[in-house]
Amino acid sequence: MLKIAVVILNWNGEALLEKFLPSVTSFSKEADIYVADNASTDNSIAFIKENYPEITIIQNSSNGGYAKGYNDALRHVKADVYCLLNSDIAVSKDWLKPIISEFSNNPKAAIIQPKILDYNKKSYFEYAGAAGGFIDKFGYPFCRGRIFQELEEDRGQYNDTIEIFWATGACMFIKSEVFHQLKGFDEAYFAHQEEIDLCWRAKNNGHHVYYVGSSEIYHLGGSTLGNMNPKKTFLNFRNSLFSILKNLPPHKSFPIIFLRFILDGIAGIRFVLQGKPKHCWAIVQAHFSFYKNFNSMFKKRERHSFIEGYYSTTSIVWSHFVKHIKFFNILVKD
């Protein structure tokens, strides 16, 4: 039997823990549960100790964001498989059984993501991960069930088990040996898209990432940074460029980065026309930060066989904003 550790990263999230821990503790009997606290200043730790003495608390010395928070905490967790679970997620009964089965029966599986549904609108997919992640040829991420802000209704169309390109950090199962082989998340990302980089590096090292649609969870989303927060825009655009530079060979990454300069500029203009100038400025700052960190990120490239990992040669930006494609199944046919 696999030893599973469900590890919830927390920062000043007492209200979220109070709301979402009941389902996790009730429906995760197959796992040990940990809360990794990023130096909270609220009553999170006291709340857990009083109400959930069975949960192991790991107290990080600082708030290093998602990446450093998990890197620091997982050094103290002994398990075959880590489940990195956001604090704003409710899980369903028997949610772990399909995951355990896939790991047990599929030796290629190194990382697995369940189906992510919207906590407030449970018949729809949720932004962070939906039914499994992919990237287009320019490094822009999208999901089955979610293309940019367009979310599909769950009608059972993604109840399958398939190989994907990236698994969401909102709920990611990863073999502990793989996590440590990859030296965890890149802490330069701080938050957002570090899971895409991790999955890309895993693929470059010969591992496989899967989506298991028979396991369902419900994500509140936006509890740290909302989908349309300028800080999130900055991190998403910058970190996407980091991943391209690190995980593709120069003869492929450099032309893409040049084209991204143009495409991201168009995205910035679009934000201005929508009356969102702060998001345009966030993209400008993202590019300045990327170029400032170019040398340090370039040196992180590993000498392995690079996996392009594109879903197709299609541009998701062109497909969605020009051709007005909103659903993954139509994109497949495109």
pLDDT tens, the chain, 334 aa long: 899 999 999 999 999 999 999 999 999 999 999 999 999 999 999 999 999 999 999 999 999 899 999 999 999 999 999 999 999 999 999 999 999 999 999 999 999 999 999 999 999 999 999 999 999 989 899 999 999 889 999 999 999 999 999 999 999 999 999 999 999 999 999 888 999 999 999 999 999 999 999 999 999 986 555 557 899 999 999 999 999 999 988 888 999 999 999 999 999 999 999 999 999 999 999 999 999 999 999 999 876 556 655 555 578 888 888 888 888 888 765 5
- Residue 81, amino acid: V
Angstrom distance (rounded) from CA 149 to CA 274: 15
Angstrom distance (rounded) from CA 66 to CA 223: 13
CB atoms within 10 A of CB 277: 13
Angle separating helix axes 194-204 and 230-247, nearest 10 degrees: 10
Contacts of 250 (CB under 8 A, 6+ apart): none
**pLDDT at res. 91:** 98
**pLDDT at res. 299:** 92
Map out the domains of the chain with their CATH numbers: 4-219 (3.90.550.10), 230-306 (no CATH)
Candidates 87, 89, 77, 102; CA nearest to 2 is 102
Contacts of 141 (CB under 8 A, 6+ apart): 133, 134, 135, 166, 193, 196, 240
Angstrom distance (rounded) from CA 253 to CA 139: 10
| 217 close to 91: Cβ distance less than 8 angstroms | yes
* Cα four-point dihedral sign 25, 128, 308, 101: positive
**pLDDT at res. 307:** 61
Say whether 30 sits in a helix, a strand or coil: coil
Angstrom distance (rounded) from CA 302 to CA 198: 13
Pairing of the two strands 208-219 and 161-164:
antiparallel
**pLDDT at res. 120:** 95
**pLDDT at res. 106:** 98
pTM of the predicted model, to two decimals? Answer: 0.93
